[in-house]
Amino acid sequence: ESGAGDIEAVLAGCDVAIDHTYHTRACQQAMMETFRTYCSIDAYGRLNVLSSTQIVFHCRRILANALHIPKSMIRVAKPRIGGGFGAKQTSVCEVYPAFVTWKTKKPSKIIFSRYESQIASTPRHEMELHVRLGATKDGIVRGIDLYTLSNTGAYGEHGPTTVGLSGHKSIPLYGKAEAFRFVSDVVYTNHMSAGAYRGYGATQGLFAVESAVNELADKLGIDPFVIRQRNIVREGDVMPAYYGQVNTSCALDRCLQAVHDNIGWDEKYPVRDMGNGKVRAVGMGMAMQGSGITSVDVGSASLKINDDGFYTLSIGAADMGTGCDTILAQIAAEVLECPLDNVTVLGADTDSSPYDSGSYASSTTYVTGKAVEQCAEQLKQKICQVGAGLLGLDERAVVFAGDAVTSEDGTQRATLAQIAAASQCGSNTALEAVVTHSSEISPPPFMVGAAEVEVDLETGEAQVIRYEAAVDCGTPVNPNLARVQAEGGILQGIGMALTENVTYDDRGMPQENSLMQYKIPARNDIGHIHVVFESSYEGTGPFGAKSIGEVVINTPLPAVADAIYHATHKRFYELPITREQIALAGQ
């Protein structure tokens, strides 16, 4: 339990209150590549594990514990990963082939079918969220009381951690609140064990809190964008519900303005009759997330220079289609003033990578990226040292020029290739650097999204024909990769809101055990998704960057739900909102 202020007194003194219980289902990550691991014994009798995992170091620890063998006898490496979204943040399948290979000393592999991935993995935690929210008649939110009940399934995988985000990543958006209370319980049930999925509890919490604020706006007759502008947390504010952290960088106000204008809100709000049995309605929502786990997540990088003066970057973070290998190489290339192709990336191997807690909690660009930046700076200094020696100059009298080290006036040059060659003969200076970085803060990225939904009131068919979003992820390192992250997250959020349903038989087995029953949206189900970036500058991140990975999945849930309310005049407190429910609402 956490809180600040006297929540009961504040709620009792409010002009208007919203009090509802919201429900979200267990959702499958449904990444394209299913779970898979290959194991073998190497020349030294050690267990080599090649796995599609986000967490090579955690995986080594889990396998050592499971097999009762020393960690030193295990090597875990990851090749390319075909999507993870948190599913591969748990060692779902590694232990089986590891056991077989360790016992038989023969190679083995396991590849999950889609059916196995649907029934024996770690989906999102089902949650029930009770929100009590009080405000003035001008729409200033004075107090938020949230109680979350989380279904962790048969085991406590990610049980206590996920539920915390439902409150700590939703309540702080409302900066004027005088009091808040957040209480949570986690229960074991005879269901599939839940785990990490992009958004990690914040997704569920934001659906509830943002839906309550949308209902408040409607009750007071205030535009949802206007009510947000009156309440939002701003740069420099202390956020009591976000562990008392200061909001160091924030463009949430600009995100609101951009989405409002880009979707043409004033012309479309709340609903328009299209005259053919269909209506078009709009809805919106805000979101925040974090950038790594404060004072816990560790990101590391090692950089060395090779013959000809190209670099090798070693990282323990896992690229799972997020593009982090590219982004981290870009950060190194920026500091070392060289083309991207001059940096080769060696990814995620417990034998050769420096320690990194792995790719999760939106930590890679922010935490590991900062380590890469600092590492490149250190290597640059060492290169200047060796270059100065070659030129017969003092270390302080040389300049790093990307492809060479030069004298201050530029007349004397030692090329990178010459410096690299010199380090390989009669040298006492290793031209490599290793940096480990952990951050004492986790600056939240922010996002605003608005959905335009076309609803057929007779058949109940609802389609998102347009989605407008604005993201504050600090200063994006690679805007193209950030954009596709956002588009993918929005698509997943729309799926959660409308089509991804989970039902159980009387034994607790999920009935949606294939992609025929478990409906994830395809590209042709969705109209136009448009994402813009409203940059802030986060001084503690690499080149001003915060995270992007998770925040992007959270806004479609309340936005689509509110649009459907405007279309049908019925509020839905449970996801997904199915066609049957919409058709029956119109009766």
Q: What integer best gives the mean pLDDT of the chain?
A: 96
Tell me the C-alpha distance between 579 and 497, whole Å: 11
pLDDT at 384: 97
Which pLDDT band holds residue 369 (cuts at 50, 70, 90)?
very high
For 292-335, write each residue's pLDDT tens digit.
999 999 999 999 999 999 999 999 999 999 999 999 999 999 99
Which pLDDT band holds residue 543 (cuts at 50, 70, 90)?
very high
Residue 536 has pLDDT above 90, yes or no: yes
Helices (H), 479-586: 479-498, 556-568, 579-585
Contact call for residues 512 and 407 (beta carbons, < 8 A)? no
* Cβ-Cβ contacts under 8 Å for 320 (sequence gap 6 or more): 31, 54, 81, 82, 83, 84, 85, 88, 359
Average pLDDT value for residue range 102-113: 98
Average pLDDT value for residue range 363-384: 97
pLDDT at 395: 93
Which pLDDT band holds residue 523 (cuts at 50, 70, 90)?
confident
| The token pair that represents 206 in the structure block | 């934001």
Tell me the C-alpha distance between 48 and 74, whole Å: 6
Which pLDDT band holds residue 346 (cuts at 50, 70, 90)?
very high
Average pLDDT value for residue range 84-92: 95
pLDDT at 526: 85
Average pLDDT value for residue range 51-73: 97
Contact call for residues 240 and 149 (beta carbons, < 8 A)? no
Tell me the C-alpha distance between 237 and 249, whole Å: 10
Which DSSP letter does residue 395 get? G
Report percent pLDDT > 90 for the chain: 97
For 198-234, write each residue's pLDDT tens digit.
999 999 999 999 999 999 999 999 999 999 999 999 9
pLDDT at 131: 98
pLDDT at 525: 84
